[in-house]
Amino acid sequence: MAGYIVEDTRKVTTVRLAEMKRQGKRIAMLTSYDYSMAQIVDQAGVDVILIGDSAGNVMAGNQTTIPVTLDEMIYHGRCVARAVKRALVVCDMPFGTYHASRQAAVENAVRLMQGSGVDALKLEGGVEIIEMIRGIISAGIPVMGHLGLTPQSVNKFGGYGLRASNQKEAEKLISDAHALQEAGCFALVLEKIPAWLTTQVCQELEIPVIGIGGGPADGQVLVVHDMLGMNKGFSPKFLRRYADLFTVITDAVGNYVSDVKSGDFPNEKEQY
């Protein structure tokens, strides 16, 4: 069972993640959106499970994460939280639920925490949302930041290209990263930025930095459907595929269809 972490079965907490950074132990994070997948991902030794609003893409088939609602995240969060024993469970606050005011952000964060049973929340953005982040943390909710490519702002940036590739944007990202740490975020996701910038932020921050498409960091995150090869149409340079479930599932379903049609299934042993 190569790759399985079995020696430390204690529940992962935000405090443990900080310790892991200090000890130079890398953090493995993956998304999940449902009970069955979350159970497998947790048992395979992933440290942090994210109920990403990428649920809107991979589960619902939307082009962007913008249509995802708080009720949908509560549903996915509850399915995952019920399955997980070891990993820290983090849930995305969806588009439009934390910008209107500090009070609205805290109310929505409390609803998401109580309705789902997750351990922590993730919010996209820097200084623009710092007051909302402070409010949520002061309500006792751990917050993970997210900078670089922030998919909820796709219409503002006009696409999903590399972020912070010029000096001005890189300086803004560094100062946002410090602001998030000072506001009390326990970790930070950096998405699709140059590797040198990820390295610099990892060195400057005490909190763990989790990369996706940003080169080496204190940890890495991928969308589970992408790394399992369930989705043929999405092949960015940063994605490593660990399985070809598209082919595995297509073959299995194709065999089932032909067995049903030929009358081979069910056979004598498969009936009462």
Among 49, 147, 201, 212, contact with ligand KIV (rule: CB under 6 A):
212
92 near ligand KIV, rule: CB under 6 A = yes
189 near ligand KIV, rule: CB under 6 A = yes
135 near ligand KIV, rule: CB under 6 A = no
Instruction: Name the closest residue to ligand KIV (Cβ).
Output: 52
223 near ligand KIV, rule: CB under 6 A = yes
27 near ligand KIV, rule: CB under 6 A = no
Among 221, 227, 228, 230, contact with ligand KIV (rule: CB under 6 A):
221
Quick one: tokens of 243?
């399985």
The enclosing H or E element of 245 equals helix 245-262
Using alpha carbons, list the distances in angstroms from residue 85 to 22, 44, 82, 140, 207.
24, 11, 8, 21, 24
Spatial neighbors of 33 by CB under 8 A, at least 6 apart, are: 51, 52, 55, 58, 59, 76, 79, 80
Residue 106 or 212 having the CB closest to ligand KIV: 212
Cα-atom radius of gyration of the chain, to the nearest Å?
A: 20
Residue 21 or 122 having the CB closest to ligand KIV: 122
97 near ligand KIV, rule: CB under 6 A = no
54 near ligand KIV, rule: CB under 6 A = yes
Output the smallest distance, CB 57 to ligand KIV, in A: 8
Judge contact between 127 and 176, C-beta under 8 A. Answer: yes
Among 17, 30, 31, 177, contact with ligand KIV (rule: CB under 6 A):
31
Helices (H) then strands (E): counts for the chain: 11, 8
Quick one: tokens of 53?
């609003």
Q: By 3-state DSSP, what share of the chain in percent is helix, strand and coil, each rounded to 5?
A: 45, 15, 40
Dihedral over alpha carbons 242, 152, 55, 84 (to 10 degrees)? 80
The one-letter amino acid code at 61 reads: G
Stretch that binds ligand KIV, among 1-9, 39-47, 50-58, 128-136 (CB under 6 A): 50-58
Residue 221 or 266 having the CB closest to ligand KIV: 221
Residue 36 or 247 having the CB closest to ligand KIV: 36
Name the active-site residue from 72, 171, 182, 191: 191
- Count residues contacting ligand KIV (CB under 6 A)? 11
Helix axis angle for 167-183 and 195-204, nearest 10°, is 30
Using alpha carbons, list the distances in angstroms from residue 161 to 9, 34, 262.
38, 29, 49
Say whether 191 is catalytic: yes
41 near ligand KIV, rule: CB under 6 A = no
Output the smallest distance, CB 56 to ligand KIV, in A: 8
Among 53, 119, 176, 218, contact with ligand KIV (rule: CB under 6 A):
53
Stretch that binds ligand KIV, among 51-59, 112-120, 154-162, 244-252 (CB under 6 A): 51-59
Helix (H, G, I), strand (E, B) or coil at 68: coil
Catalytic machinery residues: 191
Applying CB under 6 A, which residues contact ligand KIV? 31, 50, 52-54, 92, 189, 191, 212, 221, 223
